[in-house]
């Protein structure tokens, strides 16, 4: 496990090492069970294509959670993320055989005092930017 970042040691502009998270249809089915969101666009290819999507797509909140995972792993504590918001800009298309990959990175934008930092998050699936205006406030050690 990486050392938890300390507020006094983190500088504005510091990069949070990018991570890659694979997404398979099974992940979406498990998320549907946990969240109660059984919309067929998240598991039924025929239905997703019938409503004009290219294929099954990941739940927006699943996508947001994977991006948030970067922050909780970096901070070393899920409770350290005290604010978090995003705009969804593109869906994560999850083909049956190969699945998809979400690439997430972050950068410290501002030190807010009281041990808190503002972090800008970047998230892509393939060439598509999937989240915009993604920002979090993280309480550091």
| Structural domains of the chain, with CATH | 7-139 (3.10.129.10)
Structure tokens given for 78 = 């899920």
pLDDT value at 74 more than 90: yes
Closest CA to 139 of 81, 88, 97, 62: 81
What local confidence, expressed as pLDDT, does residue 27 receive? 97
Q: Rounded to two decimals, what is the model's pTM?
A: 0.92
In the predicted model, what is the mean pLDDT of the chain?
96
In the predicted structure, residue 20 carries a pLDDT above the cut 80: yes
At residue 2, the pLDDT reads 61
**Residue 3, pLDDT score:** 78
């Amino acid at each position: 496990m990486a050392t938890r970042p300390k507020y006094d040691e983190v500088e504005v502009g510091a990069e949070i090492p990018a991570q890659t998270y694979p997404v398979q249809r099974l992940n979406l089915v498990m998320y549907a069970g946990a969240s109660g969101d059984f919309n067929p666009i998240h598991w039924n290819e025929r239905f997703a294509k019938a409503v004009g999507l290219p294929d099954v797509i990941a739940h927006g909140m699943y996508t947001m959670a994977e991006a948030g995972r970067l922050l909780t792993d970096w901070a070393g504590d899920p409770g350290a993320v005290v604010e978090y918001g995003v705009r969804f800009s593109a869906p994560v298309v999850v083909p049956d055989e190969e699945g998809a990959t979400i690439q997430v990175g972050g950068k410290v934008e501002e030190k807010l005092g009281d041990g808190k930092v503002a972090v800008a998050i970047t998230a892509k699936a393939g060439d598509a930017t999937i989240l915009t205006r993604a920002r979090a406030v993280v309480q550091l050690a």
